[in-house]
Structure 1
Amino acid sequence: MGIVEEAHNVKIVGSGEQVIVLAHGFGTDQSVWKHLIPHLVDNYKVVLYDNMGAGTTNPDYFDFERYSTLEGYAYDLLAILEEFQLSCCIFVGHSVSAIVGAIASIMRPDLFSKLILISASPRYLNDVDYYGGFEQEDLDQLFEAMQSNYKAWCSGFAPLAVGGDMDSVAVQEFSRTLFNMRPDIALSVAQTIFQSDFRHLLCHVTVSCHIIQSIKDLAVPVVVSEYLHQNLGGDSIVEVMSSEGHLPQLSSPDSVIPVLLRHIRHDIVV
């Protein structure tokens, strides 16, 4: 097993010729795709991996400087694709990984046939003529809460992000993977994500993008999906789902999985 494969817990399942790469967001790991995978393995080769810093990865491998920007994660993605000689893949990225995939596609557009971006945001902070959903004061309070009592913060943040009560299976699942992260790593990753601004790079994304968004999402307002659509450099399409929450593939699989499958199977018709 190579170092890249081991570090990211890379798993390849399925038997099809077309490659699909599934990339998870902050606070989760590859298990967030458990409802989608059974629908893919008969027709696709499915590549799963964990972002560095996820609770399932070795914290000793986490380089705080490398992962102080999302480019560090994009280089990891490209390293995985190159190690397994994967090209022209369908990339499905959730939350931060959606932007990571977009960055990687700018570096190596030949490796991606299309990007499916779930709950994606190029910037979380509000700005002049831009609504990202957060003021700096909101983020400062979030970081302070993470730092002062990480376990308590996880318990409060999970139901808000998922959009449910603490008794729901999805909330419990997200709480588990969130709490599995080492607190100092979780804080660093959260700061990198929430303080990032990749609006200037969107025009350089030439791979076709399918933007999928919940109607109600604590982290990403619906207007952000339209902003992505208007500013990406290649063809793009938006679908706003009736689901609520930032992890719709986990919290509303019955309605969300059919949407994802449709976007995986069908290209944008211009």
Structure 2
Amino acid sequence: MHPILIRNNLKILGKGNQVIVFAHGFGCAQSSWKYMTDAFLDDFKVILFDYVGSGRSDKTQYDYHKYSTLDGYACDVLDIIETLGLKDIIFVGHSVSSMIGMIAALQKPEAFKKLIFIGPSPRYLNDRDYIGGFEAADIETIFTQIAEDYVSWTKAIAPIVMNKAEEPELAGFLQGCFEETEPSIALAFAMATFKADYRDHLKKFDIPSLTLQSSNDIMAPFSAGEYIHQNTRNNFFVVMKATGHFPHISEPEETIREIKDFIAHENIHTTRDELYA
């Protein structure tokens, strides 16, 4: 197996010809897609991977300088695309992987057919007329908590971001995902994520994309998803009935349906008013 594929713990599954790549978010790994992947195996070639430093990737290749910005993670995506000779892929990115996918697609647009953003945010910090959901003090508190006691932080944050109190086992699953990442790497990834600002990149991006916005998402509020939709050409916007930041775990059926509808039709555009009418 190629060293890049070993480095990123790459898995190739499925029977179809159309390639769909699932990219996990901060603190997680490819295991976070376990509730969804089976639904795509008959019709797609499914690619799963772990970013360097996450999951079962080769952590000896982690470079704190390279991964100090999201561009380093986009390099992982481009490495995989080039190693496998992929083109016209469907890229599904959760949370920060939405912007990582966009960065990669801006560098190699011919490799991407469509992108799906699940719970995306181009900037987490509030800024003048932009509401990202966090003040600078909030972000510093997160960094401090991760640095001081990462396990306690994961235990506290998992049920909040999952937002599925009636199924506490899902928060437990998420906490387990978080704990696969070494605390020092988790802190570095958090800093790369929460300090990022990719709003200007949106205007350069025109590959068809879908923003899947969960209801009541503390990490990526409606304002962030709406900003992406309003500032990105060929972006479609769907507000889901699912709550929380991990709809691919808490409501996989709805998430699967929206992704497949977008892949098949590309003409969906649901506003918040339409959803809650």
* TM over 0.5, shorter chain: yes
2:82 aligns with 82
Letter in 2 for 1:147: A
Q: How far, CA to CA, are the matches of 2:168 and 2:263 in structure 1?
A: 28
Contact 1:35/1:257 (8 A) holds in 2: no
2:263 aligns with 264
1:116 aligns with 116
Aligned residues: 269
1:183 aligns with 183
Contact 1:123/1:194 (8 A) holds in 2: yes
Q: How far, CA to CA, are the matches of 2:169 and 2:253 in structure 1?
A: 14
1:43 counterpart = 2:43: yes
Deviation at 1:20, TM superposition (A): 0.6
Rate the CA distance shift 1:142–1:13 in 2: closer, same or farther, 3 A. same
Q: Which runs of 5+ in 2 are unaligned?
A: 270-277
Contact 1:116/1:264 (8 A) holds in 2: no
Q: How far, CA to CA, are the matches of 1:57 and 1:265 in structure 2?
A: 32
Q: How far, CA to CA, are the matches of 1:101 and 1:123 in structure 2?
A: 15
Moved more, 53-62 or 241-250: 53-62
Contact 1:236/1:268 (8 A) holds in 2: no
1:128 aligns with 128
1:63 aligns with 63
Matches within 5 A, 1:160-199: 160-165=160-165, 168-199=168-199
Q: TM-score, normalised by structure 2?
A: 0.93
2:273 aligns with none
Q: What SS does structure 2 have at the residue aligned with 1:204?
A: coil
Q: What SS does structure 1 have at the residue aligned with 2:55?
A: coil
Deviation per CA, 1:171-198, whole angstroms, max 9, x where unpaired?
A: 1111001011100100010011001100
1:243 counterpart = 2:268: no
Letter in 2 for 1:175: Q
Deviation at 1:167, TM superposition (A): 6.1
Contact 1:14/1:43 (8 A) holds in 2: yes
1:253 aligns with 252
Deviation at 1:269, TM superposition (A): 7.2
Letter in 1 for 2:256: I
Q: How far, CA to CA, are the matches of 1:13 and 1:259 in structure 2?
A: 21
Q: Which runs of 5+ in 1 are unaligned?
A: none
Deviation per CA, 1:189-215, whole angstroms, max 9, x where unpaired?
A: 001100110011111112111110101
1:157 counterpart = 2:157: yes
2:274 aligns with none
Moved more, 64-73 or 155-164: 155-164
Rate the CA distance shift 1:167–1:149 in 2: closer, same or farther, 3 A. farther
Q: How far, CA to CA, are the matches of 1:196 and 1:269 in structure 2?
A: 29
Deviation at 1:129, TM superposition (A): 0.7
Q: How far, CA to CA, are the matches of 1:243 and 1:9 in structure 2?
A: 30
Letter in 1 for 2:95: S
